[in-house]
């Protein structure tokens, strides 16, 4: 029997979704009123009333009605008992919480005073209630505690200093240019110079005697230290400031949403929500975990490194605990029936005979594991993991061939259109000569082309289809899908995989993320693991060199020599702070600079603000050697193959995670020629040199992942982008072995005693589990 709290929760979700989708009354099957008319609405007459006639209201009317309804639903039980007037007023001001008032984690963001437009901004980042804000952790932290002593700072290091302005001058070296120079004296008596270009409005703040806290990068000229200022506050403002004088978090954001705003929102949420712990104290003690309140405060606003480390450890543990609970709750051991293929030795030989090379030992072994699965009547659910270029696609092509030989269709799904096209070209190469009909279906095709392909798929006129998400859209019906291959699984949600699985084909997932075998079960729940741990022969390892940015000319001189020999080069720029626009600007600027430095080279640009079709077009031209240097933001990251490219230059390499650098480097060395990777570091601290040295010294993904862990400080967080698993914000599968095992142990222990989490003591854990989960599949289970 569901509790009222659970029913409330069940009702809240579709209502929030309705709001998020712009009140179109389409998100809930049959409309919002129908939902309320169901038994779900029984305990909430007030909500029913508030939403009466919803379908007939205009958009602002619906917005108001929905807000009123959510208000009634959220905690205002008194109102729920006393039905309100039949029609919601046109505009309802949502009362924000009074100072000191506590709000439940599910409370709507409108109840939090985040300033004008605050709720809308947070919504646009995918944050809809207080819990979302609490768990939107910073993706990194910056130490902005003022340094007492500047003698030790290194070139390029980011530092915070506090001091008094003792001298100031303004220069105008040419018309239209204004330079403000300020000298700051620190409490310890050191001196720092800071400079502002063309910011006349700064002049008032920078008067002599003003006491300031500055954050920026260090430039050293002999003994004198200069700072390129990125953040400034006066000492008075800095007292109690969320943005300076402390270790500050840096959040995922987008244009128009400032870090200061996000910090304030997190702070308000932490103050408003009672952070009762869902983990009983004796378990926390057993696993050495701090309590939830200390952890969340420590994650967003740590007093010191120790609190940050405690917080991160606890929240990471929780992520794994929830993941483990989810896997265990889902896992039923019933064998799912899939397709049963012949997969004869003859067919395998025929496939291999048509290849221009022989399979490596590792490919052969993995192929055997796959064909065993294919021959059995169980549904295959296997993950093939292997470094970029290890030959996963070739193995998948063979499996697809075997499926086709048995009269089935095959599908290969890629995360981007560029990759889909590339796979299409490769599969056509492998399979075309074996009389297999290969088709392509991507969003960039015209409606007519798509319809034509859909018809061919439905009528069995095509054997293997390569595509993007377009493949799992409603109007794609396979005649007889036997095997589905999914490239880079983590870019797809669980839901999408389930959709693809609807016809119960065998499923093969390919991924380049190195995951130790013992962890694969946790990460992918139900997938078995095959590893290709050997590169095809004849590959010359990529030569990697680390350069200081002061020597970047060398890198480009080298790239130019390769270009003169008929080769091509990638140049990648790092994400600059947290903004797409800035990232684009930096890439554009770089490509303009390169055009000046390398006038002979043909240079083009690829960035994240391009449409898929535009990106595709640029990549196609690059592959066709229509230009020599591709300057790109990180969109290039996933496995694009350009065999003629032999140079990868990575600017601001220190801003990338090592795993990401390894992936980027894998873009070259795809052909037979010797390839090179140059890491240009914008920072010259010992720590950075050491970290980037790992990439310089190894080409083995596992070694790199391991060394990375050893060097990583507590302030560095890896985001979802790196962990590859959507439910993990903090977790890092390759390195969290111990913590994962503990979390698994606890999850098993909990479920062994209480398989459905029904004990009152676990109510809070259970509701947290339900609400924090991203995975719809899982919500259906519990």
Using an 8 Å Cβ cutoff, are 349 and 367 in contact?
Answer: no
43 binds, among Mg ion, ligand ADP, none (CB under 5 to 8 A by kind): none
Per-residue binding letters, 365-404, with Mg ion (x by CB under 5 A)? ----------------------------x-----------
- Judged by beta carbon, residue 160 or residue 360, the one nearer ligand ADP is 360
The answer to whether residue 359 forms part of the interface with ligand ADP (CB under 6 A) is yes
Nearest by Cα to 215 from 251, 245, 252, 260: 245
Nearest by Cα to 403 from 412, 414, 391: 412
The answer to whether residue 514 forms part of the interface with Mg ion (CB under 5 A) is no
Total binding residues toward Mg ion, as defined by CB under 5 A: 2
Q: Identify the burial level of 674 via C-beta atoms within 10 angstroms of its C-beta, where 0-12 means exposed, 13-18 middle and 19 or more buried.
A: middle
CB atoms within 10 A of CB 758: 9
Minimum separation from the CB atom of position 390 to Mg ion (A): 9
CB atoms within 10 A of CB 626: 11
410 binds, among ligand ADP, Mg ion, none (CB under 5 to 8 A by kind): none
DSSP of 250-273, one letter per residue?
A: E----TT--HHHHHHHHHHHHHHS
- Tokens at 500, concatenated: 């693809």
- Judged by beta carbon, residue 259 or residue 663, the one nearer Mg ion is 663
Lookup result for tokens 């790196």: 722
- Judged by beta carbon, residue 391 or residue 505, the one nearer ligand ADP is 391
Lookup result for tokens 């142990």: 745
**What three-state secondary structure class fits 136?**
coil
Q: Interacting stretch for ligand ADP, rule CB under 6 A, among 16-24, 385-393, 612-620, 707-715?
A: 385-393
Minimum separation from the CB atom of position 451 to ligand ADP (A): 30
Choice from 290, 393, 416, 468 touching ligand ADP (CB under 6 A): 393
Minimum separation from the CB atom of position 638 to ligand ADP (A): 10
Per-residue binding letters, 601-640, with ligand ADP (x by CB under 6 A)? --------------------------------------x-
Q: For residues 266, 268, 274 and 278, what is the CA-based torsion angle, rounded to 10 degrees?
A: -10
Q: Interacting stretch for ligand ADP, rule CB under 6 A, among 312-320, 383-391, 592-600, 700-708?
A: 383-391
359 binds, among Mg ion, ligand ADP, none (CB under 5 to 8 A by kind): ligand ADP
Nearest by Cα to 582 from 254, 241, 104: 254
Close Cβ partners of 593 (under 8 Å, ≥ 6 residues apart) = none
Choice from 48, 141, 382, 392 touching ligand ADP (CB under 6 A): 392
- Judged by beta carbon, residue 591 or residue 675, the one nearer ligand ADP is 675
What residues from 427 to 446 belong to the interface with ligand ADP (CB under 6 A)?
A: none
Minimum separation from the CB atom of position 520 to ligand ADP (A): 17
Q: Interacting stretch for Mg ion, rule CB under 5 A, among 9-17, 232-240, 607-615, 631-639?
A: 631-639
How far is residue 468's CA from residue 471's CA, in Å, rounded to a whole number? 6
The answer to whether residue 394 forms part of the interface with ligand ADP (CB under 6 A) is yes
- Tokens at 401, concatenated: 């061939």
Q: Residue 396: enclosing H or E segment and its boundaries?
A: helix 392-405
216 binds, among Mg ion, ligand ADP, none (CB under 5 to 8 A by kind): none
Close Cβ partners of 37 (under 8 Å, ≥ 6 residues apart) = 48
Q: Where are the alpha helices (DSSP H) in 580-611?
A: 580-597
Minimum separation from the CB atom of position 705 to ligand ADP (A): 17
The answer to whether residue 469 forms part of the interface with ligand ADP (CB under 6 A) is no
Minimum separation from the CB atom of position 392 to Mg ion (A): 6
The answer to whether residue 639 forms part of the interface with Mg ion (CB under 5 A) is yes
- Judged by beta carbon, residue 639 or residue 724, the one nearer Mg ion is 639
The answer to whether residue 363 forms part of the interface with ligand ADP (CB under 6 A) is yes
Q: Interacting stretch for ligand ADP, rule CB under 6 A, among 357-365, 437-445, 459-467, 548-556?
A: 357-365
What residues from 513 to 532 belong to the interface with ligand ADP (CB under 6 A)?
A: none
How far is residue 770's CA from residue 776's CA, in Å, rounded to a whole number? 10
Minimum separation from the CB atom of position 343 to Mg ion (A): 22
197 binds, among ligand ADP, Mg ion, none (CB under 5 to 8 A by kind): none
The answer to whether residue 311 forms part of the interface with ligand ADP (CB under 6 A) is no
- Convert 650-671 to b/e letters by CB count within 10 Å (16 or more is b): bbbbbbbbbbbbbbbbbbbbbe
Q: Interacting stretch for Mg ion, rule CB under 5 A, among 57-65, 116-124, 237-245, 633-641?
A: 633-641
Minimum separation from the CB atom of position 421 to ligand ADP (A): 13
The answer to whether residue 675 forms part of the interface with ligand ADP (CB under 6 A) is no
- Judged by beta carbon, residue 49 or residue 487, the one nearer Mg ion is 487
Minimum separation from the CB atom of position 392 to ligand ADP (A): 3
Q: Identify the burial level of 741 via C-beta atoms within 10 angstroms of its C-beta, where 0-12 means exposed, 13-18 middle and 19 or more buried.
A: middle
- Judged by beta carbon, residue 539 or residue 779, the one nearer ligand ADP is 539
**What three-state secondary structure class fits 596?**
helix
CA distances from 541 to 636, 677, 708 (A): 21, 11, 20
- Three-class SS string for 524-579? HCCCEEEEECCCCCCCCCCEEEEEEHHHHHHHHHHHHHHHHCCCEEEEECCCCCCC
How far is residue 563's CA from residue 719's CA, in Å, rounded to a whole number? 36
The answer to whether residue 386 forms part of the interface with ligand ADP (CB under 6 A) is yes
- Judged by beta carbon, residue 163 or residue 391, the one nearer ligand ADP is 391
Using an 8 Å Cβ cutoff, are 433 and 354 in contact?
Answer: yes
- Tokens at 602, concatenated: 């043909």
Close Cβ partners of 245 (under 8 Å, ≥ 6 residues apart) = 144, 145, 146, 160, 162, 213, 233, 238, 239
The answer to whether residue 660 forms part of the interface with ligand ADP (CB under 6 A) is no
Total binding residues toward ligand ADP, as defined by CB under 6 A: 15
Q: Interacting stretch for ligand ADP, rule CB under 6 A, among 252-260, 390-398, 432-440, 562-570?
A: 390-398
- Judged by beta carbon, residue 453 or residue 483, the one nearer ligand ADP is 483
Q: Interacting stretch for Mg ion, rule CB under 5 A, among 334-342, 456-464, 632-640, 702-710?
A: 632-640
For ligand ADP, the binding residues (CB under 6 A) are 357-360, 363, 386, 388-394, 536, 639
Give the interface with Mg ion as residue ranges (CB under 5 A).
393, 639
């Amino acid at each position: 029997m569901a509790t009222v709290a659970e029913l409330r929760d069940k009702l809240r979700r579709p209502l929030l979704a309705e709001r998020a989708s712009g009140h179109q009354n389409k998100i809930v099957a049959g409309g919002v009123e129908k939902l309320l008319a169901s038994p779900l609405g029984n305990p909430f007459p007030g909500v029913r009333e508030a939403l009466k006639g919803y379908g007939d209201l205009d958009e602002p009317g619906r917005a108001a009605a929905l807000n009123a309804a959510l208000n009634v639903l959220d905690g205002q039980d008194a109102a729920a008992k006393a039905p309100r007037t039949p029609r919601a007023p046109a505009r309802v001001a949502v009362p924000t919480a009074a100072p000191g008032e506590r709000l439940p984690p599910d409370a709507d963001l409108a109840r939090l005073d985040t300033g004008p437009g605050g709720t809308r901004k947070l919504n646009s980042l995918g944050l809809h209630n207080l819990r979302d804000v609490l768990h939107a952790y910073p993706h990194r932290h910056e130490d902005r505690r003022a340094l007492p002593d500047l003698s030790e700072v290194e070139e390029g290091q980011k530092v915070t200093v506090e001091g008094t302005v003792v001298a100031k001058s303004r220069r105008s070296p040419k018309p239209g240019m204004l330079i403000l120079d300020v000298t700051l004296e620190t409490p310890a008596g050191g001196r720092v110079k800071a400079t502002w270009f063309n910011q006349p409005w700064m002049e008032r703040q920078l008067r002599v005697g003003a006491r300031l806290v500055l954050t920026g990068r260090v430039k050293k000229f002999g003994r004198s230290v200069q700072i390129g200022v990125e953040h400034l506050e006066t000492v008075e403002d800095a007292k109690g400031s969320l943005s300076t004088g402390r270790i500050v978090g840096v959040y995922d954001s987008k244009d128009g949403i400032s870090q200061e705003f996000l910090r304030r929102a997190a702070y308000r949420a932490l103050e408003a929500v009672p952070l009762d712990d869902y983990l009983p104290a004796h378990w926390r003690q057993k696993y050495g975990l701090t309590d939830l309140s200390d952890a969340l405060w420590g994650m967003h606003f740590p007093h010191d490194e120790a609190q940050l480390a405690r917080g991160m450890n606890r929240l990471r543990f929780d992520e794994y605990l929830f993941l483990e609970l989810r896997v265990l709750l889902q896992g039923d051991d019933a064998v799912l029936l899939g397709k049963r293929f012949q997969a004869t030795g003859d067919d395998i030989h025929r496939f291999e005979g048509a290849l221009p090379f022989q399979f490596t030992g590792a490919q052969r072994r993995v192929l055997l594991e796959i064909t065993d699965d294919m021959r059995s009547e169980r549904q295959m659910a296997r993950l093939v993991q292997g470094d970029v270029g290890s030959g996963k696609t070739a193995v998948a092509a063979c499996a697809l061939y075997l499926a086709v030989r048995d009269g089935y269709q095959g599908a290969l799904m890629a995360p981007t259109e560029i990759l889909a096209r590339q796979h299409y070209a490769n599969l056509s190469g492998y399979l075309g000569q074996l009389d297999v009909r290969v088709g392509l279906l991507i969003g960039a095709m015209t409606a007519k082309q798509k319809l034509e392909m859909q018809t061919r798929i439905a009528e069995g006129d095509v054997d293997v289809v390569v595509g993007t998400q377009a493949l799992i859209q409603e109007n794609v019906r396979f005649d007889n899908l036997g095997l589905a291959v999914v490239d880079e699984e983590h870019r797809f949600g669980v839901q999408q995989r389930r959709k693809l699985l609807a016809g119960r084909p065998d499923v093969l997932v390919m991924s380049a993320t190195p995951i130790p075998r013992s962890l694969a079960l946790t990460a992918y729940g139900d997938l078995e693991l095959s590893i290709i741990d050997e590169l095809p022969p004849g590959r010359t390892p990529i030569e990697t060199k680390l350069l200081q940015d002061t020597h970047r000319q060398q890198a480009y001189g080298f790239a130019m020599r390769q270009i003169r020999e008929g080769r091509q080069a990638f140049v990648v720029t790092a994400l600059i702070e947290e903004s797409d626009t800035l990232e684009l600007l930096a890439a554009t600027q770089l490509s303009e600079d390169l055009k000046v430095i390398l006038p002979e080279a043909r240079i083009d640009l690829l960035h994240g603000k391009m449409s898929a079709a535009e990106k595709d077009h640029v990549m196609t031209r690059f592959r066709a050697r229509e230009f020599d240097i591709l300057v790109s933001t990180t969109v290039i990251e996933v496995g694009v193959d350009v065999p003629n490219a032999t140079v990868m230059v990575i600017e601001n390499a220190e801003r990338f995670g090592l795993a990401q650098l390894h992936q980027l480097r894998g873009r070259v060395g795809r052909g037979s020629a010797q390839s090179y990777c140059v890491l240009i570091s914008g920072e010259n601290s010992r720590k950075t040199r050491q970290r980037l040295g790992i990439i310089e010294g190894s080409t083995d993904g596992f070694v790199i992942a391991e060394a990375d862990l050893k060097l990583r400080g507590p302030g560095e967080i890896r985001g979802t982008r790196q962990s590859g698993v959507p439910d993990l914000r903090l977790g890092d599968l390759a390195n969290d072995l111990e913590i994962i095992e503990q979390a698994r142990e606890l999850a098993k222990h909990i479920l062994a005693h209480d398989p459905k989490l029904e004990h009152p003591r676990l109510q809070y854990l259970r509701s947290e589990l339900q609400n924090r989960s991203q995975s719809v599949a899982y919500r259906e289970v519990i």
